[in-house]
């Protein structure tokens, strides 16, 4: 029994959290790409080519990884010849699911349809996703 108790900390030392910047960023990027295309359709814009953004995520608090409400993800992309960069705030939960909130100045909650002038919900204002937390 004593040997088992000594082995448990050693076994757990090799286990880390799957909630690292290098795992959150691809999940964020994948969801962003799909919602960006949806947003452009709502605005009746045609994206030129494939939007292939770069995404980087990090924690702003004292911890480098793990769940928390202090994550940010920046995304940079080029569309229609224009380069854009935005920073989204993320809340990352222990189960690997996250919720992103877009910057209100560039991602307002409502968009106006350019043809009908009717308000539409902006898919990039607030969105969520999950990453595979399995090893």
Question: Tens digit of pLDDT for each residue in 58-79?
Answer: 999 999 999 999 999 999 998 8
User: Alpha-carbon distance 42 to 104, whole Å?
Assistant: 18
User: pTM of the predicted model, to two decimals?
Assistant: 0.82
Q: What is the DSSP string of 69-110?
A: EEEEEEEEEEETTEEEEEEEEEEE-TTSEEEEE--TTTS-SE
**In the chain, domain spans:** 18-130
What does the pLDDT look like over 10-60, one tens digit per residue? 344 445 778 999 999 999 999 999 999 899 888 888 765 678 899 999 999
Radius of gyration of the chain (CA): 19
């Amino acid at each position: 029994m004593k040997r088992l108790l000594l082995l448990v900390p050693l076994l757990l030392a090799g286990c880390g959290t799957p909630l690292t910047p290098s795992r959150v960023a691809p999940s964020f990027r994948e969801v962003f790409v799909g919602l960006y295309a949806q947003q452009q359709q709502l605005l009746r814009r045609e994206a030129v080519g494939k939007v292939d953004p770069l995404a980087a995520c990090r924690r702003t608090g004292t911890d480098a990884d793990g769940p928390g409400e202090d994550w940010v993800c920046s995304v940079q992309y080029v569309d229609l010849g224009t380069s854009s960069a935005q920073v989204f705030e993320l809340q990352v939960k222990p189960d690997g699911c996250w919720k992103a909130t877009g910057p209100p100045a560039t991602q307002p909650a409502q968009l106006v349809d350019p043809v009908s002038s009717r308000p539409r919900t902006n898919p990039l204002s607030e969105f969520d996703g999950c990453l595979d937390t399995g090893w």
